[in-house]
Amino acid sequence: MENRLKNFACIISSSLVSALLLASCNSDGTSSSGGRGFEVKLLVGSALHHFCDEAAVQFNQTKPKLASGDAFHMTCEAAGSGDVVERTATLAQQFQQGTITADAAEFPTILSVDGEIYQNQLIYRMDQLYPGQNYIPAITDAPLLANSPMVFMVPTDLAPGLRKVDDLFAKLVTAKTHKDLDASSPEQPVYYVHTAPTRSNSGLQTLVSQFASVSDKRPEELTVADVQQHQAAVQNIQSKITRYGKSTSTLAQAMVENGPFWASIGSVYESSVIAANTNLPPGGTQYEAVYPKSTFTSNMRGIVPNAPWVSDQEKEAADQILEYLQSPPAQQIATNLGLRPGAPGVALGPKFSPNFGVDPKASYDSYRPPAPEVAEAMLTTWSQVAKKSSLVVVVVDTSGSMEGNKLPSVQNTLKTYVEALGPKDKVALIDFDSNIRQPVLVDGTADGKARGLQFIAGLQADGGTRLYDSALAARNWLSANLKADAINAVLILTDGEDSESSIGLGQLEQELSKSNFSSDQRIAFFTVGYGKEGEFDPQVLEQIAQLNGGYYRKGDPATIAQLMADLQVEF
């Protein structure tokens, strides 16, 4: 996988490792997470996040023990399916090199990814490191915990027209409006979203489905040559993208919050449609699932590596956990969350109904994964060719309050951000204090990255905080330099409240409304409050972001690297 993905993996791996170290056992045999006995870690894809958390509470209440009488408890950590694979391979490589030992706290005992393509990738990556060892069991040897088919999430008024379309991806190659998809639909532009395939299982399944559609082949029949031949058609589909998401659930929620002129079609799990309609705000748009004739089922399985870093004790505990996760009480948790059960004989429950936008008896042809090398080729061609390009203005607060460890932390994070830029990414870097400086243009080339690193090295903390003025200046520059057929966005990183701007918040909001997603500029705003709340106003930053189809996040020296890596996936 190319350097961009490896850079992200380094950030992700280090932050996840730190989190797991914090959960290591104390000397009294009780973990810092409060459980009894030794800890059995589950690292799961994001679709199983809440299922794992809720099941862990119930399972740990049973006070589980091994046959020897040793107590244990389960803990959960969720990440993107791509992150699960990347981290597992990284830890296995570190073990191979002797930099960590088999009993290292970083190793999870049970793994799960949100579908079988990434499970295949996990097997493939581990076989490259340990040929013939079969450290990751075959797909069918891993018990099924839950599943959720990939669907198109669409507003109720658009659903009837889209259900008439035989192959939506094939039509999206040339369609510009919903009327192009179906003659009875409105002449409303097609705005499309899916998650980044390098991080998310739903995004990878979507990408594979697009290649299958435009090539008129099943995924398992595709070759690397097919990927190269049909990348232009997939690029045409990608041109309709509003934004890439880092997780399926947050992307579906963004559809609900921002409405159909932000995204009229989303490739998500069926469970995401149920969640959207479960949490629908008063007067909000109702959504429905449109089931493709062929799609991925998204089987989520429990994987116990048959590897030196999983002890016999851990394997015995893992068997108990997986048996529990397939039991009726745990499977009921899954159905309550909108996931279809992995074990037979469990009723779907009341949420699987048209009232929640889904069909309990949905029928479709279930896709099988492509060959691992073909999936790798798709990920590479997506990043280098097919992915929608972006132009992002990154606005950095360098006021006097950034003195101390704040500025070096931000500089290190920005350095990783710049080094991870791909060939289709362009960034304008602006720093502000009492003055707003001219943007420095950076791209994924060697020269472009060098300009970015020089900018970062020259940052100094001094002066006041012209937050509102700098936000408007960034928007104005982007409006004047808008990149056609690209994701255009502003990302603001600040640690303080506005102190010296010539405009107020109300005027800024009026100006930003001229370039939001109801305009033809469609400029998104993302804001990061850095440091301690109280030093900055989170409500103000949230207002700025939500007005223009983005979101606000809080960061600090411990979390900023992961936060910025997650944000970079969106563009």
The tokens for 14 are 């280090």
The answer to pTM > 0.85 is yes
* Residue 55 pLDDT > 50: yes
Q: How far apart are CA 48 and CA 302, in angstroms?
A: 11
**Would you say 251 and 193 are in contact if contact means Cβ atoms under 8 Å apart?**
yes
Pairing of strands 192-195, 150-155: unpaired
Helical spans, DSSP H, in 423-466: 446-457
What is residue 502's three-state secondary structure? coil
Res 435: pLDDT? 96
Is 337:271 a contact under the CB 8 Å cutoff?
Answer: yes
Is the pLDDT at 25 greater than 80? The verdict is no
CA–CA dist 269, 290 (Å, integer):
11
Which CA distances in Å does 321 have to 59, 68, 226, 423, 426? 8, 16, 42, 44, 46
Q: 3-state DSSP call for residue 299?
A: strand
Asked if pLDDT for residue 22 goes beyond 60, the answer is no
Q: What is the pLDDT, as a whole number, of residue 101? A: 97
Answer for the pair 222, 210: CB distance below 8 angstroms, yes or no: no
**Average of pLDDT values for 47-53?**
97
Q: What is the per-residue pLDDT for 35?
A: 77
Whether the predicted pLDDT of 535 surpasses 70? yes
**pLDDT the model gives residue 533:** 80
Flag whether pLDDT at 227 surpasses 80. yes
| pLDDT of 1 strictly over 70 | no
Helices vs strands, H then E, count in the chain: 20, 19
Taking residues 198-211, what's their average pLDDT?
Answer: 97
Furthest CA-CA distance within the chain:
71
Residue 265 pairs in a beta bridge with 192
pLDDT at 320 over 90: yes
- The whole-number pLDDT of residue 4 equals 35
Across the chain, what does the average pLDDT equal? 92
d(CA 440, CA 457): 13
Q: What is the pLDDT of residue 34?
A: 56
pLDDT, tens only, 118-156: 999 999 999 999 999 999 999 999 999 999 999 999 999
Token output for 193: 């979203």
Taking residues 295-319, report their average pLDDT: 98
What's the CA gap between 23 and 26, in Å, rounded? Answer: 9
409-439: per-residue pLDDT in tens? 999 999 999 999 988 899 999 999 999 999 9
Q: What is the model's pLDDT at position 282?
A: 83
Distance CA 74, CA 59 (A): 8
Looking at residue 525, its pLDDT comes to: 96
Residues of the chain with pLDDT > 90: what percent?
87
d(CA 89, CA 83): 10
Does position 555 have pLDDT exceeding 50, yes or no? yes
Token pair of 228 as six digits: 């190269």
Structure confidence by residue, pLDDT tens digits, 158-203? 999 999 999 999 999 999 999 999 999 999 999 999 999 999 999 9
Predicted local distance difference test score (pLDDT) of residue 405: 86
For the segment 62-75, the average pLDDT, to the nearest whole number, is 98
**Token pair of 28 as six digits:** 């009294």
- Alpha carbon of 466 to those of 234, 402, 428: distances in Å? 42, 14, 18
Interval 451-468: pLDDT, tens: 999 999 999 999 999 999
User: What is the per-residue pLDDT across 362-396, written as a single tens digit (0 to 9) for each?
Assistant: 999 999 999 999 999 999 999 999 999 999 999 99
